[in-house]
Amino acid sequence: MVYGTVVPVLLRDPSQLGTLTTAQAGALGSYALIGVMVGALIAGAVGDHIGRRRVMVTGIVWFSVAMGASAFATDLTVFGSLRFLTGIGVGALVATVGALIAEFAPPHRRNVYNAIVYSGVPAGGVLAALLALLASDGGDWRVLFLFGAAPLVVLLPVTLLRLPESPKWLQARGHTVRARQVSERTGVPLPGTAPSEAAAEPGLEAAAKTKIGFAALATRRYALATLLLGLTSCSALLLTYALNTWLPEIMGQSGYGASFSLVFLLTLNGGAIVGGLIASRVADRFGPQRVIATTFVLAAVSLALLTQGLPLGLLLILVAVAGVGTLGTQVLIYGFVSHYYDTVARAAGVAWCAGFGRLGGIGGPVVGGALIGAGLPPADAFYVFAGVAVLGTLVTCFVPRQAAERSPAPAAPAPGPLPGGGASVLAHE
């Protein structure tokens, strides 16, 4: 999103990185998204084997260093390579954090906790736009990339000191003693049965229990759902990146001046934050699958109505609703996926959702650019995007209902209080 704010500067001033064509600018925009896909799939391949904490720490260091190094790039080749590397770190985090939250949050608030975490994505879009306003001088674009290295100082020390490994993952991998220690320290309760006792549970198939990570996704229990959840994520991310890239241009061709570009983008991402949090509370009560289908419908309706030449106030409301139905929907999808899979396949499931879905993110700007480049009326682009939202609705409805996604049975009380004597809200499942 930072890159999107500096593209005009790079196109206008060859002294920054060299002569840049619009086609090259589009390719540079996709490099980071390709990196996100690669990073998510790598994290999914190793996250269920080595744990969530190691992947999180590695991802923070990786993307921060690559983002900061991008500020010192002097040519397009180096800059593009660093954008790809940055995406790998971001992808690892996006794929892992959902699995981590699913194993720490209480069942009755899992979707809300997940929405709070993933609302950082649209919040980052808002922050990027605001920082771009402060960097008025063309040469200040490098400061925006240096800002991306701040987590090395702000976030990494806190992560190393305070982020524990998931006790449920430790238990699932046979580290029973460490799992109990982390459970007692954090107040996060463990499942009522140890891994050796899990074989007696009638709801688990032998194939899913003996296979870990991506291998578990290919079992009969998960295969169809994995395909459909990937398509659902692909639809939502296509809409998200298509609108974040082309909404200002489409509205400009509809008669609105350049000064409205930032307003439309802020409204789109602001709607995703607020609407995503509200929708997540509804999802905790009625289930995420129904809510995701509903928000896709809202996206389709709002995008279709954007073609009707309505007053500016109504257009902004519709853009906010479109934010809920696109990026807000993706937030809900991450929550749905992270709770759909068991612990041994959870990181791989979220990684598949983030990685395969990123194909839609990569294709979104391309689809929008092709529609606009073909000289079609702006309304046609909105109709195409609305059609993608309808497709997302249908795919969501066909995802098989998972037994683990139904109302969970009450868990045993937490083994002990948090350090300092306080009981954790996470203990009350």
Task: Give the confidence band of 258 by pLDDT, cuts at 50, 70, 90.
Answer: low
Is 416 within the bounds of a domain?
A: no
Is 331 within the bounds of a domain?
A: yes
CB 51 within 8 A of CB 165: yes
Is 367 within the bounds of a domain?
A: yes
Residue 402 in 3-state DSSP?
coil
Is 190 within the bounds of a domain?
A: no
DSSP at 1: -
Is 421 within the bounds of a domain?
A: no
Angle, CA 97 vertex, CA 210 and CA 283 arms, to 5°: 90
Supply the pTM of this predicted model: 0.72
Task: Give the confidence band of 41 by pLDDT, cuts at 50, 70, 90.
Answer: confident
CB 184 within 8 A of CB 427: no
Distance CA 274, CA 122 (A): 10
Q: Which two tokens stand for residue 31?
A: 């490099």
Is 247 within the bounds of a domain?
A: yes
Picking from 380, 274, 265, the residue whose alpha carbon sits closest to that of residue 324 is: 274
How much is the pLDDT for 177? 84
Distance CA 133, CA 67 (A): 20
**pLDDT of 423 higher than 50:** no
Range picked from 69-73, 111-115, 125-129, 186-190 for highest mean pLDDT: 69-73
Distance CA 184, CA 131 (A): 42
- CB-side exposure of 297: number of CA atoms within 13 Å? 9
Helix ranges restricted to H, 287-377: 288-305, 312-325, 327-340, 343-373
Q: How crowded is residue 124: how many other Cβ atoms within 10 Å of its Cβ?
A: 14
Which of 83-87, 130-134, 151-155, 321-325 is predicted with the least confidence, judged by mean pLDDT?
Answer: 130-134
DSSP, residue by residue, 14-65 = HHHHS---HHHHHHHHHHHHHHHHHHHHHHHHHHHHH-HHHHHHHHHHHHHH
Q: Which residue has the tokens 């899992």?
A: 110
- CB-side exposure of 284: number of CA atoms within 13 Å? 17
How much is the pLDDT for 416? 42
Q: Which residue has the tokens 């639809």?
A: 235
* Number of domains within the chain: 1
* Mean pLDDT (whole number) for 169-190: 80
Task: Give the confidence band of 297 by pLDDT, cuts at 50, 70, 90.
Answer: very high
CATH number of the domain within which 103 lies: 1.20.1250.20
**pLDDT of 390 higher than 90:** yes
Picking from 354, 271, 330, 268, the residue whose alpha carbon sits closest to that of residue 1 is: 268
255 or 400: which leads in pLDDT: 400
Is 300 within the bounds of a domain?
A: yes
The burial class, CB within 10 Å (0-12 / 13-18 / 19+), for 169 is buried
In which domain, by residue range, is 259 found? 2-154+208-405
- Percent of the chain at pLDDT > 70 equals 84
